[in-house]
């Protein structure tokens, strides 16, 4: 069994002011018993949380597997983040 198979993965969503935001969390259940640091992962443009996790080769899974942190891969709005550039054509 690989480390990626041993890490508990949950697909979650929050709705704030009628805006639904989705994310993938690794290790959240274990953190309920013992608090752990939270690592927030922002994907690149036109990706999703799951594609970014695969793209990086699940590199943060071992950190979760040994209990050092909870990792949340966030989904941007339509695959993008609002980075405050004036000349951006992204939907976020």
Give the number of other CB atoms < 10 A from CB of residue 5: 10
**Across 66-91, average pLDDT:** 77
- Judged on CB neighbours under 10 Å (0-12, 13-18, 19+), 89 is exposed
Q: Give the chain's mean pLDDT.
A: 83
**Chain segment 10-23, per-residue pLDDT in tens:** 999 999 889 899 99
pLDDT of residue 1: 42
pLDDT of residue 83: 61
Beta-carbon contacts of residue 75 (< 8 Å; ≥ 6 apart): 21, 22, 23, 24, 43, 48, 49
Which of 18-22, 23-27, 84-88 shows the lowest mean pLDDT across its residues? 84-88
pLDDT over 90 (residue 82): no
Task: Give yes or no for a contact between 46 and 23, defined as CB atoms under 8 angstroms apart.
Answer: no
């Amino acid at each position: 069994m690989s480390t990626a198979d041993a890490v508990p993965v949950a697909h979650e969503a929050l709705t704030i002011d009628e805006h639904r935001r989705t994310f993938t969390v690794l290790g959240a259940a274990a953190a309920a018993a013992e608090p752990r640091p939270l690592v927030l992962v922002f994907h690149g443009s036109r990706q999703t949380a799951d594609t970014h996790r695969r793209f990086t080769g699940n590199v943060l899974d071992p950190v979760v597997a040994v209990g050092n942190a909870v990792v949340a891969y966030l989904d941007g709005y339509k695959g993008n983040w609002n980075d405050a550039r004036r000349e951006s054509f992204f939907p976020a």
